Amino acid sequence: MQFPWLKRDDLVAVPHDSGGWIVKDPLTMQYTHLDDIEFSVLNLMNGRTSFAGMLERARQLCPERHLSLDDLGQFVRVLAGHQLIRQPGGGDSVRLDPRVTSSSLSRFASPLFRILRLQCRLLNPSRLLDAALPLVSIFYKPAVVRTMAMVGLLSIIVIGLRSGELLRALPSMAEFLGPQNMLLMLLVFVTVKVLHEAGHAFTARYFGAECNECGIMLMVFTPVLYTNVSDAWLLPRRQRMLITSAGILVELSIASIFALLWSYAAPGTTRALLLNTVVLCSVNTILFNGNPLLKFDGYFLLADWVGIPNLASRASAVVQQTLLQLATGRRSDLTEPVRTRRFLLTYGLASAAFRFLLTLAILKLVQVMSREWHVQFLGTFVSAVILTGFVIIPAVVFLFRIFDHDETSSRSWTRLTISTVMLLAVALFPLPHSVIAPALVEPASDPVYVTLPGILDPIGRYGDHVASDSVLAKLLNTDLQKSEQNLRSRVNEVGLQLNSLQKNPATANSELIPALRESEAAARIRLTEFLAEAAALVIKSPADGVFLPPQAVPRLDDSLPERWYGTAVQSRNAGAWIERGTLLGYVGDPSDVTVSAGVREDDVEFVTKGQQVEFMPQAGSAGSFSAVVEAVERLEANALPSQWAIAGLAGGQPTENGLLPNAVTYFVRIRMNESSGAPPPLYSVGRVRIYTRPASLLQRFLRYLKQTF
C-alpha cells in the first residue's frame, strides 16, 4: 500500500557542515535540521513508496539504529508538525501533528511557559536593514574592529586599576531593586537589547542571510526586542558563529566605552548610570547571553563550535535515558556515539543544575521585588507559575516515564525501589547548616550618655585610663541656670517673708507663719532635687577603665558651626550643643567587645544561645574570629547601623537613627571567644556565619517554599 504523503516541492535543503541537512520552509521561514537518514526518508515520500518500503530503505541506510515502525511513525509526525510534507487529501494532518497528539500534561504546561515568554511579531525589517546596511557596514571594517578591541583592552586595564573604587560605587541589592532605579535600569536594558538584536540582524544581512521578522518578547515580564536570523543556518559555520556572537560583542563594546566614560565622570547620577550600564552589559552578557548552559547566544556558539546541532534536546534525551537506566536498569535506545554521549551527558547535567539554581534565584528575586514594590500577591502568582512550569511539571513528566513503561519487570521494580530509597536518604540526610548575617563590632563596656542637654566643655580624652567618678565632660545650660536662680530666689523670698513675720511682735503669732514654713520647706526640696538633677551636667566615669570613643558622626554639608561631628568629647567640639541621649563613649576594657548581627525573621528561628559563630571582618583585620551566640533579642529592630549600608551588607530607608530595615530583622548579640586573641577593631563591619542545627535538603526546600509562598 502506498504511503499518501508527499514532500513539498518548494523546500530548500542545504548540507550542514556538522552533518545532516538544513531544510528551510520558505512560507513559514522555519528551519529544521535532519540527519542523513531522516533526509533520505523525506525524499522517499513521493506518494508512490509504501510505508514498509520506506522503513526497509531506512534500515538499509542505517542498520545499526534498528529502526522500528514506531520510530518511523514518530518521525513522520515530526515532519507533518513542521509542515514539510503534504497530502493530496485532508484530515490526516491533524492526526499526525505532534501538537495535537501531545499529552494533556504538556498541553497544560504550554500556557505556563507562554506566560513567561510571550512573543509578538511587529514588522519585517528587511527594507530598513538593507537601507541602513551601507552606513552600518563601516563597523565591520578591520580598522574599526581593531579599534574596538583596543578600547576593550583599555577598559579592562582601567577597571583592574580602579577595581576598589568600582566595587565601592556599586549599589546594594536593595538600592538596585528599588522602584526608581529599576525603572531607569529597565529603560537601559531595553535600549541595550535593541542594539544587541540590531547587531544580529545587521551581521546576518552583511553575510547575505535574511531577517524577515522583528518583534517584542516578554521574558519573565521584561520586554525585549527579538529578531529572527534563523536563515543563518544556511551559511557556513564561521559566518554563523559571527552572527551569533554579534549581540554579545555589541554589549561588550558598550560596556567598554561606558567604563572609560565612568572613569572620567564626576560623582552623581550620570556616573551611577554609566556604572550600572557597564554592569548590565558585562555581567548580564557573560552570565546569561554568553552562558552556554542557557539557550541564548552562548548556547548556539557552543553547538556550532562542537558541531552538535540540537545540542540541548539531545543532551536532555541522554540525561533522561541515563537516569532511567540507573533507576530501573532499562537499556538505553539512544544511538549517539560513546564519545558524543559523554559530552552530552556532562553538558545536560551541568545545564539542568544551572537552570535549577537559576530558577531558585529568579524565585528569590521575584520575592524580594514584590516585597520592595508591595505587590506580594503578584509575586506569589509569578513564583507559582515559575515553579510549576520549570520544576514540578518536568519532574512529573519524568516520573511518568519511569512508571509508565512497557518493559517493567521485577528487576526494574527492585532497582527502582533501591534508587528511590537512596534518593530519599540523600534528601533526608542532615547536612551542616549556617546563617549568614551582617555584623558590627561594638564595646561591651559601660556606656556614657548625656542625660541633660547643654554646651559641651570636653575634659577627658579618648584612650586615657580614667577612675570611677572622674570628670569626662561638663555641659552648660543657661536655661537650667536661670531655673536654679529662680528656685534660689523663691527660697530666699519665702525665707525673708517668714523672718519678717516672726521678728515683728505684732505678727509673731500670725496664722500665715505655718503656711510660709511649709512653702519654704517645699521650695528647698525643689531646689535640692533640681541641684541633684543638674549635677548630671557634669558627666563622670561610671567605672574604672579606658575611655573609649563611640561611633563617629559624619559631618553634614549643611552643618551649622555649633553642630558637632565626629566623636563628641574632642576639643574641636568645645562649645557645641549636645542633645539629651547622645552617646559620649564607653568606659571599660578595650579588648572586651561584642558583635551585633542583624538576622532576618526567616533565619532567626534557627539561632539559639550557645551556637558557634565565625566573624569575618570586611576590612581592617586579617582572617576570621571565633565567637558564640550570647542572646537573641525578642523585639524586632527598628533601625540598623548605617555602616552596613555603606559597606553594602544591608539595605533600608535612611533615617536619623540609622536604617529602617526592608524586612523584619532581629539583633543577635555575640560574644568573642577568649582564645581568638586580639579582638577586631571597634566598629568594624563584616559578616557572621552562625552554625545552626543541621538541616536536610528536603527541609531546606520546604522552608524555601514556605518563605516564597
The residue with greater pLDDT, 160 or 1, is 160
The residue with greater pLDDT, 404 or 288, is 288
Q: How far apart are CA 37 and CA 41, in angstroms?
A: 6
Place of cell 529597565: 186
Do 3 and 45 contact (CB within 8 A), yes or no?
Answer: yes
For residue range 521-534, list pLDDT tens digits in order.
998 999 999 999 89
Q: What is the pLDDT of residue 136?
A: 92
Lowest average pLDDT, out of 287-291, 305-309, 394-398, 582-586, goes to 394-398
The mean pLDDT value for 350-367 works out to 84
Do 263 and 162 contact (CB within 8 A), yes or no?
Answer: yes
Place of cell 547535567: 349
Q: What is the pLDDT of residue 548?
A: 93
Task: Inform me whether the pLDDT recorded for 218 exceeds 80.
Answer: no
Task: Inform me whether the pLDDT recorded for 541 exceeds 90.
Answer: yes
Task: Inform me whether the pLDDT recorded for 101 exceeds 50.
Answer: no
Q: What is the pLDDT of residue 346?
A: 94
Domains in the chain: ranges and CATH: 6-101 (no CATH), 105-307 (no CATH), 310-428 (no CATH), 435-444+592-695 (2.40.30.170), 448-586 (no CATH)
pLDDT range class, residue 1, cuts 50, 70, 90:
very low
Q: What is the DSSP string of 442-472?
A: EE-SEEEE-SS-EEEEE-S-TT-EE-TT-EE
Distance, C-alpha 395 to centroid of its chain: 25
Task: Inform me whether the pLDDT recorded for 164 exceeds 90.
Answer: no
The residue with greater pLDDT, 563 or 140, is 140
For residue range 638-649, list pLDDT tens digits in order.
888 888 877 778
What percentage of the chain carries pLDDT values higher than 70?
Answer: 87
Torsion region of 218: left, alpha or beta (phi above 0 gives left; psi -120 to 50 gives alpha): beta
Q: What is the pLDDT of residue 102?
A: 45
Q: What is the pLDDT of residue 496?
A: 87
Task: Inform me whether the pLDDT recorded for 301 exceeds 70.
Answer: yes
For residue range 308-347, list pLDDT tens digits in order.
888 998 898 899 888 888 777 766 666 677 888 899 999 9
Q: What is the pLDDT of residue 129?
A: 92
Asked whether the CA dihedral 51, 52, 57, 63 is positive or negative, the reply is: positive
Q: What is the pLDDT of residue 93?
A: 36
Tell me which residue of 42, 443, 33, 430 sits closest to 240, measured CA to CA: 33
H helix count then E strand count, the chain: 24, 24
Q: What is the pLDDT of residue 365?
A: 77
Residue 552 gets which letter from DSSP?
P
Q: What is the pLDDT of residue 708?
A: 63
The residue with greater pLDDT, 567 or 220, is 567
Q: What is the pLDDT of residue 378?
A: 78
Place of cell 512508571: 403
The mean pLDDT value for 356-367 works out to 80
Q: How far apart are CA 321 and CA 330, in angstroms?
A: 9
- SS3 per-residue string spanning 480-517: HHHHHHHHHHHHHHHHHHHHHHHHCCCCCCCCHHHHHH
Half-sphere CA count of 195, side-chain side, radius 13 A:
14
The residue with greater pLDDT, 619 or 110, is 619
The mean pLDDT value for 150-175 works out to 82
Round the average pLDDT of the chain to a whole number and report it: 83
Task: Inform me whether the pLDDT recorded for 357 exceeds 90.
Answer: no
The mean pLDDT value for 239-263 works out to 93
The SS3 assignment for 550 reads: coil
Tell me which residue of 94, 10, 1, 91 sits closest to 47, measured CA to CA: 1
Q: What is the pLDDT of residue 629?
A: 95
Lowest average pLDDT, out of 73-82, 327-336, 572-581, 643-652, goes to 327-336
For residue range 409-442, list pLDDT tens digits in order.
566 677 778 878 888 898 899 999 999 999 999 9
The mean pLDDT value for 200-218 works out to 89
Task: Inform me whether the pLDDT recorded for 518 exceeds 70.
Answer: yes
The residue with greater pLDDT, 383 or 694, is 694
Angle (nearest 5°) at CA 207 between 203 and 211: 60
Lowest average pLDDT, out of 14-18, 132-136, 651-655, goes to 651-655
Has this prediction a pTM greater than 0.85?
A: no
Q: What is the pLDDT of residue 419?
A: 75
Tell me which residue of 660, 657, 601, 659 sits closest to 632, measured CA to CA: 601
Q: What are phi and psi of 168, to 5 degrees?
A: -70, -30
Task: Inform me whether the pLDDT recorded for 514 exceeds 90.
Answer: no
Task: Inform me whether the pLDDT recorded for 109 exceeds 60.
Answer: no
